[in-house]
Amino acid sequence: MSGSTSAFRPSLPASQNAVPLPSPQGFQIRIVGAAAFAHLLNDLIQALLPSVYPMLKTQFSLNFAQIGWIALVYQITASLLQPWIGLHTDKHPKPYLLPTGMAVTLSGIALLALASSYGMLLVAAAVVGVGSATFHPEASRVARMASGGRFGTAQSTFQVGGNTGSAIGPLLAAAFVVPHGQPAIAWFMLAALLAIAVLLKITGWTVRHGQAQVKSLSRQSTGGLGRHQIIRAVVVIAILMFAKFVYIAAFTNYFTFYLIQRFGLGVQQSQMYLFMFLAAIALGTFAGGPVGDRIGRKAVIWVSFLGVAPFALALPYADLFWTAVLAIAVGLVMSSAFAALVVYAQEAVPGRVGMVSGVMFGLMFGIGGIGAAGLGNLADIHGLPWVYKLCSFLPLLGLATAFLPNTRARQR
């Protein structure tokens, strides 16, 4: 597991090479909480872009294809760059990349607020995506570093921050940007500035304690998997991520339309049901990490997928009350898998925390976006009730968990 100690190696002057490392610390709730708060601010900003699509469409006289290109440019930079950034920083650690990346996001917000042409909108979307791609693998690395060995707890806490920001972002956009127009986007620069301040504090802790933390954690980490086992694990994880995020995309993008069509609800009523589902996702995400620390990652993945299958299969046939109950159950149970999947992947490929985190978050963005587009096309052809019946079988892909290799804790 010699590769794991290279996950963070800040360069020191020659005169300081002999200075003893600080003593390793346990679970650092202050650092994990700060990373989660920075994740909240980052994803709050990322949620701004799709929230203002209707406003931009009207102001710039865009068609849906042009809106789609804005979304695609953002998704490409936010998704595809993450693994490469993580891989690079695994080999060449750059502690100050976190605040630097958030400064890139800050410039992207400024461009979006000042854009006067469609081309500038595309550039702004690309810049905001680069900032997001920089943030996720590095911040996830810090959360693991500060976990004191409670990897699942740290990862789920970090992820809940992002879920919360994704929920708050559209509300703030509706409150500040939509009534006041494009220039009001600049108010979100305050969130980026606050995030830079938080990330500078985190980076200071990383520079002082990161090497000691990584060396300490390497003693209790897994031995990793062989090459063929890694290939098998990657295939299974891709199947599980597909099932999870396509099914989640059916709710986050189309649940309000489904409720309006099937039960005749108003827009505001349907939004309340969506909020309950998103709140359940946040709670389930937080619970999944600590449970995984206690009973193991594979057990959480099993429960998350197969445990949600009965609720998913029943939901398309339920009345309004039971639809709400089942949607909350789906959000609680299925969302618990993500932290377990991320930590499992990190344990499977030790020493590549940044790359693995980038791949996982990149897959989350990419599959969610592609899934939303594909489900929209199916809904146009067959209708939303048919789409929800089809998606109800997705959790059964969790049977692929049986093919996940076991990762065992290595002895000291």
CB neighbours of residue 380 within 10 Å? 10
At a CB cut-off of 8 Å and minimum separation 6, what does 180 contact?
A: none
Sequence-distant (6+) residues with CB within 8 A of 2 are 351
pLDDT at 178 over 90: no
C-alpha distances out from residue 360 to 167, 289, 295, Å: 20, 16, 22
Q: Which residue has better confidence, 215 or 93? A: 93
Burial category of 51 from C-beta neighbours within 10 Å (exposed 0-12, middle 13-18, buried 19 and up): middle
pLDDT tens-place string over residues 82-95: 777 877 777 777 77
- The number of angstroms, rounded, from the C-alpha of 349 to the middle of its chain's C-alpha atoms is 19
53 burial via Cβ count (<10 Å: 0-12, 13-18, 19+)? middle
Q: Is the pLDDT of residue 339 over 90?
A: no
What are 322's two structure tokens?
A: 């039971």
- In angstroms, the CA 128 to CA 217 distance is 33
Q: What is the pLDDT of residues 89-147, one digit of tens each?
A: 777 777 788 999 999 999 999 999 999 999 999 999 999 989 988 888 888 888 888 87
- What are 12-44's pLDDT values in tens digits? 444 444 444 454 556 788 888 999 999 999 989
Hunting for tokens 């002082």 — which residue is that? 208
Q: Is residue 223 within 8 Å of residue 408, measured between CB atoms? A: yes
The mean pLDDT value of the chain amounts to 80
Sequence-distant (≥ 6) Cβ neighbours of residue 61 within 8 angstroms:
none
pLDDT of residue 315: 95
pLDDT band at 393 (very low <50, low <70, confident <90, very high): very high
Write the CB contacts of 198 (distance below 8 Å, at least 6 apart in sequence).
34, 37, 38, 41
pLDDT of residue 100: 92
- For 25, 40, 134, 295, 357, the CA distances from 28, given in Å and listed in that order, are 7, 18, 23, 22, 20
For residues 402-412, average pLDDT: 64
CATH superfamily of the domain spanning 27-218: MFS general substrate transporter like domains (1.20.1250.20)
Higher pLDDT, 216 or 328: 328
Closest CA to 184 of 113, 110, 120: 113
CA distance 402 to 293: 19
* CATH 1.20.1250.20 residue ranges for the chain: 27-218, 227-403
**For the ranges 10-24, 142-156, 278-292, which has the lowest average pLDDT?**
10-24
For the beta carbon of residue 263, count every other beta carbon within 10 angstroms. Answer: 13
Lowest mean pLDDT segment, chosen from 9-23, 46-60, 305-319, 359-373: 9-23
- pLDDT for 221 beyond 60: no
Please report the pLDDT score of residue 104 as a whole number. Answer: 94
Q: Is residue 189's pLDDT more than 90?
A: yes
Cα separation of the two ends of the chain: 11
* Residues 122, 127: Cα–Cα separation, whole Å: 9
> Does the pTM exceed 0.85?
no
Contact 358, 87 (CB under 8 A): yes
Q: Has domain 227-403 been given CATH number 3.40.1390.10?
A: no
